[in-house]
Amino acid sequence: MAFRNRRAAALPAKLSRSWLLVNAAKPEDFAPALASEADSVIFDLEASVPDDKKAEALGYVSDALSSGMTAWVRVNGIDTDFWADDLAALSMVSGLRGVMLAMTEKPEQVTYTAMRLRAGTPVLALIESAVGIENATAIASAPGTFRLAFGLNDFRKDTGVSDDPMALAYARGKLVVASRVGQLPGAIDGPPAAGASAEQVTKEALLTASMGMTGKLSLSRDHVDHINAALAPSEDELSWAKELLDAHAAGASVGDGSYLPRLARAQKIADLADSYGLWNA
């Protein structure tokens, strides 16, 4: 039996920073992923599984999620031959935390997906094309949409843009703004390359944070800690928040018009620190 990391299991998915993708055709990787520090784990039935292995992989996932494991699942796109089978099987398992819908391009695709699952099952809309980016605001407002995620590599294939941050800034910004308009948690960025160094992962995750995105996909367990650290409040932010909150509790005067916004930000940092277990880290 695989046991989920206790801290991660208790963390609401709306606050998840690292989203670890695990090849659904390799059930031997399920337990190590669940025991890792990944805030959320996604069993991947789509990109990592060839067509002739998808039925077998779905069986592995269904067995795991019916036998005590809990995880998210990336399902195949609505226009594929596998989408309906994926949802039919997943609607019957007890350990499903939610699904990630590959190749989301229209709001109704999310709604149709949610309708085939148990009521209230959240759907992550993975946006991987120019059409999806342009429809991001409507997708964010669709019934069933929980968060937006950026399918970075497929988006680059679709559009021909490079991996330069400037070339991808519009797409990332669109997802951030759409998430805000749809009153969703922060958008989830695409993953670093599977073989990226720790330094590269940290650099990319800091860029993710600078764009206003609050989560990041991961293809490797080795990247999870670096993503979590980069997308959490920094030591300087924690110190600043603690000092301001302590001063406020001791009766500090309001001072000027910036005081209440700063106090609200300090409280948000403190709440995140509590959720991520950072105060005593």
Element (H, E) at 110: helix 107-115
When mean pLDDT is compared across 109-118, 195-204, 252-261, 271-280, the lowest value belongs to: 271-280
Mean pLDDT confidence for 155-163 = 97
* Percent of the residues in the chain that have a pLDDT greater than 70, as a whole number: 97
Burial 227-243 (b: 16+ CB within 10 A, else e): bbbbbbbeeebbebbee
Amino acid at 270: A
Question: What DSSP assignment string belongs to 183-221?
Answer: TPSPPEEPPPPTT--HHHHHHHHHHHHHTT--EEEES-G
Q: Is the pLDDT of residue 143 over 80?
A: yes
Is there a contact between 177 and 47 (Cβ–Cβ < 8 Å)?
no
Residue 2: its pLDDT value, please?
58
Task: Measure the CA–CA gap between 23 and 220, rounded to whole angstroms.
Answer: 11
Q: DSSP label at 79?
A: T
Q: Are 74 and 126 in contact (CB under 8 A)?
A: yes
Does the predicted model carry a pTM greater than 0.75? Answer: yes
Q: Quick check: 252 pLDDT over 90?
A: no
- Higher local confidence (pLDDT), 211 or 233: 211
What is the number of other CB atoms lying within 10 angstroms of the CB of residue 215? 28
Mean predicted confidence (pLDDT) in 269-278 = 74
The arithmetic mean of pLDDT across residues 113-128, rounded, is 97
The per-residue pLDDT for 60 is 98
pLDDT tops 60 at residue 1: no
Q: What does the pLDDT read at residue 271? A: 76
Measure the CA–CA gap between 188 and 227, rounded to whole angstroms.
Answer: 12
In the structure encoding, which two tokens stand for residue 28, read together? Answer: 């031997």
Cβ atoms within 10 A of the Cβ of 77, count?
18
Say if CB 107 and CB 148 are below 8 A apart. Answer: no
Residue 241 is predicted with a pLDDT of: 72
Residue pair 74/45 in contact by the 8 Å Cβ criterion: yes
Indicate if the pLDDT at residue 276 is higher than 80: no
Beta strands in 50-201, from DSSP E residues, in sequence order = 71-75, 96-101, 123-127, 145-150, 188-189
Q: What is the pLDDT of residue 150?
A: 98
List pLDDT tens digits, range 30-83.
999 999 999 999 999 999 999 999 999 999 999 999 999 999 999 999 999 999
Query: What is the structure's pLDDT at 280?
Result: 52
Tens of pLDDT, residues 228-249: 999 987 777 777 778 778 787 8
CA dist., res. 250 & res. 181, Å (int):
37
**CB atoms < 10 A from the CB of 85, how many?**
16
pLDDT of residue 281: 43
